[in-house]
Amino acid sequence: MEKLIIEGGKSLNGEVRISGAKNAALPLICATLLTPGKHILRNVPDLRDTRTMLRLLENLGVRHARKDDVLTIDSSDLNGSEASYDLVKTMRASVLVLGPLVARLGKARVSLPGGCAIGARPINFHITGLELLGVKCHLEGGYVDAAIDGRMQGNVIYFDMPSVTGTENLLMAAVQAEGTTVLKNAAREPEVGNLVDMLNGMGARIEGKGTDRLTIEGVESLQPADCAIIPDRIEAGTYLIAIAATGGEGTVTHCNPSHLPALLEKLRATGLKIEETDSTVTVRQPNGNGQSGPLKGTDIKTLPYPGYPTDLQAQFMALMTLSSGVSVINETIFENRFMHVAELQRLGAEIQVDGHTAVVKGAAMDGLSGARVMATDLRASSSLVIAGLAASGRTEISRIYHLERGYENLVDKLTALGATVWKEQD
Ligand code: EPU
């Protein structure tokens, strides 16, 4: 296993190019299962998770080839319908094959994911939604067996709370159902919108993109896709926070600032100066002229999009440990997403957790100091990277395979911004 070493205390400055979004690439890769033929996906990040998803598709008879960031996926010879526990346990998003496999083959066998480092994360919405479309689902031996004779039937499906992959799975299931399906209280995340665009480009008829009500008129057939993955808003947010936390000034490029409404306002609330163009965001220190100064403690509450994203909660917490005040961080999406707190405390952060709320006492004057810490999940790990970059001295982060799931060329990108960071065998 590899670990990441950071010699902290250097400010990050300059430009960093944002990759395609992991959480858009994963459902779009699965959508290629819907119809035979050669599909083209552009701006696809090369990550551990996208490779895992492609391995899963390979096991089902799907072929693929990558040239730079363009992925060609040929799903003509699809001959399997199972996602095994071995794959699903390493990547919960594997459950996204459920909807498209039932739609194409009339059956699927997908392992239940089980709990993970950030919470229980059930898939009951996916299953009850499929049942409403006429699919028979049966749970046995840790797997969900889904099957239907003939086409699915359109229906109204209400989500008790917006679910990103739940909405995506049911979208993919419903595009070829007979009649109209309405998804109510659907997730509004930009990654869902990316999938809607891909499916409509394949001949689907989906209305309501970007709203919590998606109406799908079922079509008889689809054609192969040619679609670009949207920029990764979580990667963009992570670099903005990292630059700010180290007292630097810099720009994230090739991103979509309109996908970061809550984060950019919260960064402004800390006193940081944020400038946006159509495809870039620049962060500058409150005092201007490259002078870093104490940031104001700022509260956040994670919510479904367009609220503050849970996937940027841990990173913002790392920033708040360096602020001049107190900030209250309320996590409402996942019940166990404070695993980074104990690790940040090892770097000197003052944080108290009570249930879903963490209270961070900023330590701008004292700062953080490097230590050995452990990565527990993807976003928790990136908060440790941010804290390590801002801390004085050396930080060693073990189990960095978590980071490789979601950040393309992390070490190269940070190095180009001026960080001293490298990987070593643990
Ligand atoms: N939920 C249920 N039942 C379901 C589905 C969801 O109760 O059947 C609950 C969840 O337990 C959670 C809430 O609904 O409390 C929202 O979960 P959601 O289903 O939206 O999460 P997800 O689709 O499993 C995606 C991202 C996550 C991101 C969340 C929230 C992908 C592949 N994953 O997960 O990304 O945190 O939405 O925005 O899109 C990450 O990239 O690090 C990551 C964890």
Report pLDDT digits (tens) over 52-82: 999 999 999 999 999 999 999 999 999 999 9
Q: Which CATH superfamily is domain 22-228 in?
A: Enolpyruvate transferase domain (3.65.10.10)
Do 342 and 364 meet the contact criterion of CB atoms below 8 Å apart? no
Give burial (CB, 10 Å; 0-12/13-18/19+) of 49.
buried
- Index of the ligand 1 atom closest to the CA of residue 93: 32
**164 CA to centre of ligand 1 in angstroms:** 6
| Tokens of residue 315, six digits | 């990173």
Could you tell me which residues come within 8 angstroms of residue 81 by beta carbon, excluding any fewer than 6 positions away? 60, 101, 105, 107, 108, 109
CA 217/CA 182 separation, integer angstroms: 9
Average pLDDT over residues 280-303: 87
**163 CA to centre of ligand 1 in angstroms:** 6
Q: Which of 92, 165, 260, 331 to mutate to test the pocket of ligand 1 (most atoms within 8 A of CB)?
A: 165
Which sign does the torsion angle of CA 137, 143, 147, 152 carry? positive
pLDDT band at 15 (very low <50, low <70, confident <90, very high): very high
Q: How many CB atoms lie within 10 A of CB 350?
A: 14
Place of tokens 């395979």: 401
pLDDT band at 1 (very low <50, low <70, confident <90, very high): confident
Whose alpha carbon is nearest atom 19 of ligand 1? 163
CATH architecture under which domain 2-19+231-425 falls: Alpha-beta prism (3.65)
Task: Note the pLDDT of residue 295.
Answer: 93
pLDDT cut 70: percent of the chain above it: 98
Closest CA to 379 of 139, 81, 23, 3: 23
Which sign does the torsion angle of CA 57, 58, 63, 68 carry? positive
Q: Which of 49, 121, 159, 401 to mutate to test the pocket of ligand 1 (most atoms within 8 A of CB)?
A: 121
**Bridge partner list, 330:** 301, 357
Place of tokens 């001026």: 418
- Index of the ligand 1 atom closest to the CA of residue 127: 8
Task: Note the pLDDT of residue 364.
Answer: 55
Task: Note the pLDDT of residue 292.
Answer: 63
pLDDT of residue 24 exceeding 90, the answer is: yes
**119 CA to centre of ligand 1 in angstroms:** 10
pLDDT of residue 330 exceeding 90, the answer is: yes
Do 237 and 263 meet the contact criterion of CB atoms below 8 Å apart? yes
Whose alpha carbon is nearest atom 14 of ligand 1? 163
- Index of the ligand 1 atom closest to the CA of residue 23: 39
**165 CA to centre of ligand 1 in angstroms:** 6
CA 396/CA 241 separation, integer angstroms: 20
**347 CA to centre of ligand 1 in angstroms:** 29
- Index of the ligand 1 atom closest to the CA of residue 333: 15
Task: Note the pLDDT of residue 375.
Answer: 87
pLDDT band at 3 (very low <50, low <70, confident <90, very high): very high
**Which residues in the chain are classed under CATH 3.65.10.10?**
2-19+231-425, 22-228
Query: What are 152-189's pLDDT values in tens digits?
Result: 999 999 999 999 999 999 999 999 999 999 999 999 99
Question: What is the average pLDDT score of the chain?
Answer: 95
- Index of the ligand 1 atom closest to the CA of residue 305: 38
Whose alpha carbon is nearest atom 40 of ligand 1? 311
Q: Which of 87, 125, 131, 161 to mutate to test the pocket of ligand 1 (most atoms within 8 A of CB)?
A: 161
Q: Which residues have C-beta atoms less than 6 Å from ligand 1?
A: 23, 26, 92-93, 119, 121-126, 161, 163-166, 187, 191, 310-311, 333-334, 378-379, 406
Task: Note the pLDDT of residue 405.
Answer: 94
pLDDT band at 347 (very low <50, low <70, confident <90, very high): very high
| Tokens of residue 49, six digits | 């998770």
- 3-state secondary structure string across 96-163: HHHHHHHHHHCEEEEECCCCECCECCCCHHHHHHHHHCCCEEEEECCEEEEECCCCCECCEEECCCCC
pLDDT of residue 97 exceeding 90, the answer is: yes
Q: In this structure, are strands 250-253 and 226-228 parallel, antiparallel, or unpaired?
A: unpaired
Whose alpha carbon is nearest atom 11 of ligand 1? 121
pLDDT band at 289 (very low <50, low <70, confident <90, very high): low
φ, ψ for residue 350, nearest 5 deg = -105, 105
pLDDT band at 407 (very low <50, low <70, confident <90, very high): very high
pLDDT band at 336 (very low <50, low <70, confident <90, very high): confident
**121 CA to centre of ligand 1 in angstroms:** 7
Whose alpha carbon is nearest atom 10 of ligand 1? 121
Cα angle for residues 57, 81, 151 (degrees, 5° grid): 115
- Index of the ligand 1 atom closest to the CA of residue 119: 11
Q: What is the DSSP string of 242-275?
A: HHHHTT--EEEES--GGG-HHHHHHHHHTT-EEE
**159 CA to centre of ligand 1 in angstroms:** 13
| Contacts of range 289-292, beta carbons closer than 8 Å, 24 or more positions apart | 290/13, 290/248, 290/249, 292/11, 292/247, 292/248
pLDDT band at 291 (very low <50, low <70, confident <90, very high): low
Residues recognised as catalytic: 116
CA 200/CA 222 separation, integer angstroms: 9
Task: Note the pLDDT of residue 46.
Answer: 98
Taking 3-state DSSP, the helix, strand and coil percentages for the chain, each rounded to the nearest 5, stand at 35, 25, 40
Give burial (CB, 10 Å; 0-12/13-18/19+) of 253.
middle
